[in-house]
Structure 1
Amino acid sequence: MQLLQPILLWGLLGISIPFLIHLWRGRKGKVMSWAAMHWLPTQESSVAKGIRLENILVLLLRILMLVILVLLLSKLFVPKHNKVSEERIVHLVQPSGQITEEYKFELQQALEKGEEVYWADETLTPIESIEDLLFEYMTLNLQAALNKLPSEATDLNLYLSNSENTFGSSFFLSNIKPNLYLGSADITTPKPQTVSLGGEKTLVVNEQGLLDSLPKGQQAEGERVFEKERFGYLLNEVSSSERTFIQAALDAINDVYGFEFEEMQQLEEAKLIFDSKLPAERKSDKLYFVSDNYSYSEQSNLLTFPDQLDFEESELVQTGKLPEVILEAFLSFSGIEQQDVKLSQSQFESRFIVGGRNTQEKKANLDLLLLGLLLLCFAAERYFANQQGI
C-alpha cells in the first residue's frame, strides 16, 4: 500500500478536533432539570460529568471520517489492485550492415525470445526473422521510430552507430530511457576541405573538424567559395533578449573566422532565418533556426531549440556554445562536410530527452471505495448523533 501524496498525512492531526470537543463537553457537563429535583439532597443534585459510554461510538465515527478523508486526499494506491502489464521489450536497429553484423547474435536471441525487433525507420518496419536483416531500402529516421513505439513497451534497446555525422547535433525525445548498444564506427580520414570567403580569406577544416587558417605553403583543395550574400540573416519573431545573444553569437563567428553576417529586413534577402515559429512555407535555399519549440525535424535546413536563446533559459547561451552550433549548421547547410568523430556512451545518452508517459504510472485505485466508506460513516454518525441529541 502506497500514498501518492504522503504530505497530506499531516491532515491526520485533525483527529484531535472531535476528541477535544468531546473532552470539553464532558468536562463542562450538562444540567438536567426535572420536577422533583428540589426535594433531593444537595449531594444528590450535583451535575454529572464525563463522557457517557454511548457517545464513544459517535466519537469513533467522527475520527474515522477524518481518517478516510485524509486517505482519500492522499491518493491511496494498492499495487496488487493496479497490476503493471507484463514486460514488453522493444529493439530498434539502425539500418546499417555494420550494426546488424556486430549485434547479429543479440538480435537473434531477441527474436527467439519473442521480443519485438524493428528497424529505426519512418514506418517502424518489423524484423520477424534473422533473414530480414536486409536494409537496402531503409532510411534511418530515429525520432519517427521513437514516436511510433507501442505505448505498452517497458524496455527499449537501441542499436546505433556512434558516428557524429550520422546524428549531427540532434536531440531525441523518448518515452522510455533507452539502453544503448553502440557499434564501432568506421571513420576514415576525409580529404581536406577549404573555404574561401570571397577570395579575401581561406580557411581549412582541420583534423578535429574545426575551421582553421590555411597553413603556409599548403594549397587549397576542393575549395568552396562563399559570397557575401550568403551571410544575410533575418531576426523575425524573436524576443529582445534573444536578439542580443543571437547577434553576439554571429559577431563572435565573424571575429574568429571572418564570416561577415549582415542583418536583413526582408525575408527574401536573408539566408539565415531566426524565428520562434515554424515556417509556414520552408524554402530549400534558406536555413531556419527556430527557438522555444519542442518539435523535432529531420530536415537539414531546419534546426529547433527547446528553449529561448537567451541567458535565462538556454544552456547553449550559458555555456557559450551558441556560435559553434550556428556555424556548424551553416557549414553543413552550405555543403561543408563535418569531420566525423566517435561519440561516447555518455555523449549519446545526453542526446535523449526522456519524458511523456510513465510505463508504470500509478493512479489512486481506492477512491471509490474510500468515498463510499466516507458516506456510510457520515450517515451512521448523523443517525447516532440525532438519537443521542448531540
Structure 2
Amino acid sequence: MELLQPLMLWGAGAVVVPVIIHFWHQKKGKTLAWAATRWLREKDQQQQRGIRLDNLLLLLLRGLMVVLLAFLLSQPVLNGLTKSPAVQKIHLVQPDPLLADNFRFELESALKKGEKIYWITASTEPVKNLSERPDEGVFTTTALQSAINELSRNFTELNLYLVNDERLARAPFIRVPTAYRLHLLADSGSRLKSNYLELTAGKNVYVNRLNQLTTRPDLDKTVRFQAAPAHQGPIHVLLDYRQADEQQTVWAALNALSEVYGLDLQIQKKRTANDQYDWILTDREVAKPAARTLYVVSGKQKLPTVSNVVYTGEPLTPQTAELVKAGRLPEWLGELFMRHFRLNPNPYPLSRKEVDRLFVATAKPAADQPEKIRNGLFLVFVLLVGGERWIALRKNA
C-alpha cells in the first residue's frame, strides 16, 4: 500500500476528541436530596468508583469515523491490485545530422521494435525514415519543451537525443518525466563554419576564437567561415515606440552598442513603406513577422511562437525595467543581435552539473489510480456517520 499524502495520517490523532467529549457528558452531576432518600438502604447509596463506559458502541463509531477520515485524506493506493503498465518508449531526437548518425544503431533498433521516434520540431508526426530530416536550424528549447508536453500522455519512458552545447542553457529549465534517459553528443564545433557580416567600408563582423564579437577589415584565418556573409551592407533598424522616453532609451543603447563594436546601424524613428528592416524594436503587436527580421517587442508578456520575435514583458525604461536601470540594455541587445545572425557558432558543452540542473524531473499525474478503493472507503465513512447519528438520536447521547 502507498499513501500519496502520508502527512494527513497525523489527523488520526484527533480520535481523542470524541473520547474527551464522551466522558465530559458522563461526568457526575450534583446530588439532590428528596423526601424518600432516608428510606433507601445504605448499599444503594454507595458511590461508584472508576470510569463508566456508557454507550460504548457510539464511542467506537465516533473514533472510527475520525480515523477513517484521516485515512481517506491520505489518499491510499493499493498497488498490488493494479498491474504495472507496459513500458512504452518514445524517442525525441534533435534534427542534427551528426547526432542522428552517431545514434543511428539505437534509433534503427527502436524503429524495428515498433517504438515511436519524433524529431524535435513543431510537428508531432512520428518518423518513418531517419534519412528524412527537417531543417536543423529550427531546433529551440521551446520546441523541445512543447514536444515533451504534447507527447507526455503517450509514453512511460522518454529517450532524449540532444547535442550538448550552449543552446540548451537558453532555457532556465526543461521539465521531463520521471522515467527518462538522456543521450548527449558533445560537439566541439570543429565541423561548423562561422557566420560573418560584411558591412560597409570593408568592415567584417564576426566572433573570434575567444567568442568575442570583433569588427575588422579582414577575417581571422584561424576560424573557418562560411563561403558567403550572412548579411551585406548596413543594418537597417526601426524604432517604433509610442512613448518618447522609451524610444530615447533604446536609441541611446543602440548607439552605445554601435560605438563599442563598430556596427553600422542605420536607425530610423519613422517607418517608411518600401524599406526592409533587419531589426525592429517596438511596443506594438507584430501581426506577420518577416522571417529575416529580428523583433524586440516591449511591454508584452507572451511566449514567442517564432524564434525571431522576443518579448521583454515590460517597457524598456529605467522606471520599469531592471535591465535598463542596471545599465545592461546595450549588452542584452548585443546578445540578441549575435543570436539572430548566428554569429556565435562555437558551441561549448555543458558540464554534468549544469545538465543535471537544467533537466527537472516531474512526476506524471497518476490518472490510473484505483479510485474504486477510495470510493468504497468513502461509502463506509458515510455509513458510519449515518449509524452514529441514528444511535445518538435514539439514546439522546
**SS, match of residue 338 in structure 1:** coil
Identity of aligned residues (%): 28
Partner residue of 2:159 out of 148, 157, 161: 157
Q: Which amino acid aligns with 1:376?
A: L
The 2-side partners of 1:261 and 1:47 are apart by: 106
Q: How many residues align?
A: 373
Query: Which residue in the other structure is 1:339 paired with?
Result: 345
Higher RCO, 1 vs 2 (CA within 8 Å, ≥6 residues apart): 1
**Superposition deviation, residue 308 in structure 1:** 9.6
CA contact (8 A) 2:91 2:117 kept: yes
Query: Which residue in the other structure is 2:280 paired with?
Result: 272
Q: Which amino acid aligns with 2:76?
A: L
Consecutive unaligned residues in structure 2, runs of 5 or more: 222-227
Query: Which residue in the other structure is 1:327 paired with?
Result: 334
Does structure 1 residue 301 correspond to structure 2 residue 304?
no
Does structure 1 residue 207 correspond to structure 2 residue 205?
no
Residues 203 and 267 of structure 1: is their aligned pair in 2 closer, same or farther, counting only changes over 3 Å?
same
**SS, match of residue 177 in structure 2:** coil
**Superposition deviation, residue 7 in structure 1:** 3.7
**Superposition deviation, residue 330 in structure 1:** 2.2
Residues 10 and 360 of structure 1: is their aligned pair in 2 closer, same or farther, counting only changes over 3 Å?
closer
**Superposition deviation, residue 111 in structure 1:** 3.4
Residues 175 and 192 of structure 1: is their aligned pair in 2 closer, same or farther, counting only changes over 3 Å?
closer
Partner residue of 2:130 out of 129, 133, 145: 133
The 1-side partners of 2:121 and 2:382 are apart by: 55
The superposition leaves residues 28-72 of structure 1 with CA deviations (integer Å, 9 ceiling, x where unpaired) of 258699996552035523555655444221111111111222233
Does structure 1 residue 187 correspond to structure 2 residue 187?
no
The 2-side partners of 1:78 and 1:342 are apart by: 48
Partner residue of 1:257 out of 248, 261, 265: 261
CA contact (8 A) 1:180 1:345 kept: no
**Superposition deviation, residue 279 in structure 1:** 2.8
**Superposition deviation, residue 307 in structure 1:** 9.5
CA contact (8 A) 2:93 2:161 kept: yes
Does structure 1 residue 233 correspond to structure 2 residue 239?
yes
Q: Which amino acid aligns with 1:151?
A: R
Query: Which residue in the other structure is 1:98 paired with?
Result: 98
Q: Which amino acid aligns with 1:63?
A: G
**SS, match of residue 28 in structure 1:** coil
CA contact (8 A) 1:207 1:339 kept: no
CA contact (8 A) 1:245 1:309 kept: yes
Query: Which residue in the other structure is 1:358 paired with?
Result: 364
Query: Which residue in the other structure is 2:41 paired with?
Result: 41
Consecutive unaligned residues in structure 1, runs of 5 or more: none
The 2-side partners of 1:38 and 1:267 are apart by: 117
Residues 205 and 172 of structure 1: is their aligned pair in 2 closer, same or farther, counting only changes over 3 Å?
same
The superposition leaves residues 332-367 of structure 1 with CA deviations (integer Å, 9 ceiling, x where unpaired) of 54x464333243365666666766x71546868444
**Superposition deviation, residue 153 in structure 1:** 1.1
Residues 361 and 309 of structure 1: is their aligned pair in 2 closer, same or farther, counting only changes over 3 Å?
farther
CA contact (8 A) 1:89 1:115 kept: yes
**Superposition deviation, residue 225 in structure 1:** 3.6
CA contact (8 A) 1:288 1:301 kept: yes
The 1-side partners of 2:32 and 2:396 are apart by: 13
The 1-side partners of 2:375 and 2:248 are apart by: 55
**TM-score calculated relative to the size of structure 1:** 0.70
Q: Which amino acid aligns with 2:378?
A: L
The 2-side partners of 1:71 and 1:86 are apart by: 30
The superposition leaves residues 63-122 of structure 1 with CA deviations (integer Å, 9 ceiling, x where unpaired) of 111122223333333334566533221112334443332212222333344432233344
Residues 337 and 153 of structure 1: is their aligned pair in 2 closer, same or farther, counting only changes over 3 Å?
same
**Superposition deviation, residue 376 in structure 1:** 1.2
